[in-house]
Amino acid sequence: MLKMKKYNVFYLAILVMFSIAENAQAQVTRPTSNTGTGFFVLDGKLYDASGNEFIPIGANTAVFWQSEAMGMKSFPDIKKAGSNCVRIISVTNNSANSWSWQSNFTKQKACVKASVDNKLIPILEFHDVTCGNGYETDTEGKNLKKCVDYWCTPNLVSLCKQYEKYLIVNVANEWGPTNVGFRDGYKKAITAMRTAGIKNTILIDAGGCGQNPGTLINYAQELIDFDPEKNILFAIHFYGNWMTKEKSKQSWQYYVEDYLQLFKTKKLPVIVGEFGWTGAPDNFTLYDPQKIISECNKQGIGWLFWAWNSNPTETYYDIVADYSKGYSTEADLTAHGQKIVQQFKENAKEASSFLPTSAFLPKSELNRSILLYPNPLTSSELKIEYRNMERKEFTQIQVKNIFGQTVKNIQPSEAMPSQLLLDGIASGTYFLYFRNAETSYTSKLLIRN
């Protein structure tokens, strides 16, 4: 048993080291406008503290209307499911929210900590002003300044600074009109929050209850340029105003595929912050949610399902079938939750911010890698490119699944084969180990049959 444990430690050490080497390839330099130490936005993409592109793939956790025990349990469960981030649905400390344990700063901080402890990127938001339109005043009392003022309190500023490396700040859920009031309101918010000392990436939901793409097309770049940190990310929410192209849309609806492509073409840093599964009442989810996921994956756009644990009577909004029970096996998930979790496992890449420092690795080692393509692999023929590597003789190539189990052993017929035939392997996430007597190189491969 002791020998097996030592082998597992060695195996994990090798995996970590070469994960660092793989991630180092994609590093970009933090722009001079950004003075923070965490996430930053550049040319329409989000990068983590290590300078590697990060595509958020995960779920919302509706902790603010659940018990503390159930809410806190969601963090390790979401990580176990394969997510790389979590949007923490919360409320401010306004006295009207005293019914929720989440109106307590200490509890909000505990949620952020639990997220980071489970190597999930936390996205903290406040739900107080959903569908509001005014900044300082609002006919329904849903003025954005409520949330901004709370973000600017010493407690919240301290939280942002303490977790600056990881935390993304979602100003408010689904606030904003569809006209210039959206732009002007968020300019005030950006000024106040940056003046308070918050340097984290600021996430802004689209106007029109989070669903209006015009607010992003018309004003997103202007808001990025306005921010002294140039560090703004945007979210679009897909509900009743949206349709996928297998169905005809109404004149007032938008096609998911068209706008995801448009966001990408315009290099706007946008993620899908919420969407549900088919079956919701009031025609809220008539689209094909699997098409939303596939289009996001195709475009390299992040997506967060609503929700991990919304309400047991609203299964179309739940990944887990019973959030009081949590997630231990596949049987604990809804039918669509099983599909979503599989997508997490295949597509969500953990932020390299959580990796140990690469300072102990020689620079020459960090620049070596083995590129596999096409990746994801949809046929049996895998091509291989060796970058910055001297000629080596690989005596064994192993294909391992995410649990470290070997699913295929290959004895290469040449020292550094340029292609491999991988047939009979189920869809999923794998690691290829190229071994010789001296060392081992690792590359990640997605297989989709």
Residue 8 has what pLDDT?
A: 45
Using the predicted structure, report yes or no on whether residue 429 has a pLDDT greater than 80: yes
In a domain, 4, yes or no: no
CA 6 – CA 13 distance, rounded (Å): 11
In a domain, 187, yes or no: yes
Using the predicted structure, report yes or no on whether residue 215 has a pLDDT greater than 70: yes
Using the predicted structure, report yes or no on whether residue 319 has a pLDDT greater than 90: yes
Residues 348 and 380 in one domain: no
Upstream peptide bond of 281 is cis (omega within 30 degrees of 0): no
Taking residues 155-168, what's their average pLDDT? 98
Q: Tell me if 302 sits within 8 A of 308, measured CB to CB.
A: no
| Of 429, 431, 428, 411, residue with least CA distance to 420 | 411
Residues 441 and 300 in one domain: no
Upstream peptide bond of 56 is cis (omega within 30 degrees of 0): no
Using the predicted structure, report yes or no on whether residue 364 has a pLDDT greater than 60: no
**3-class SS letters over 35-85:** CCCCCEEECCEEECCCCCECCCEEEEECHHHCCHHHHHHHHHHHHHCCCCE
Beta carbons within 8 Å of 82's beta carbon, 6+ residues apart: 341, 344, 345, 346, 348
Q: Tell me if 174 sits within 8 A of 131, measured CB to CB.
A: yes
Domain count, the chain: 2
Residues 331 and 387 in one domain: no
Using the predicted structure, report yes or no on whether residue 326 has a pLDDT greater than 60: yes
Residues 325 and 242 in one domain: yes
Burial zone of 223 (CB within 10 Å; 0-12 exposed, 13-18 middle, 19+ buried): buried
Residues 236 and 288 in one domain: yes
Token pair, residue 131, equals 């569908």
In a domain, 359, yes or no: no
Residue 22 has what pLDDT?
A: 43
Token pair, residue 398, equals 């192993």
Using the predicted structure, report yes or no on whether residue 403 has a pLDDT greater than 80: no
**372 beta partners:** 384
Domain harbouring 419, CATH code: 2.60.40.3080
Using the predicted structure, report yes or no on whether residue 46 has a pLDDT greater than 90: yes
CA 432 – CA 131 distance, rounded (Å): 48
In a domain, 286, yes or no: yes
Share the mean pLDDT of the chain: 89
Using the predicted structure, report yes or no on whether residue 24 has a pLDDT greater than 60: no
Residue 368 has what pLDDT?
A: 58
In a domain, 5, yes or no: no
- Going by pLDDT thresholds of 50, 70 and 90, the confidence category of residue 10 is very low
Token pair, residue 260, equals 């995801």
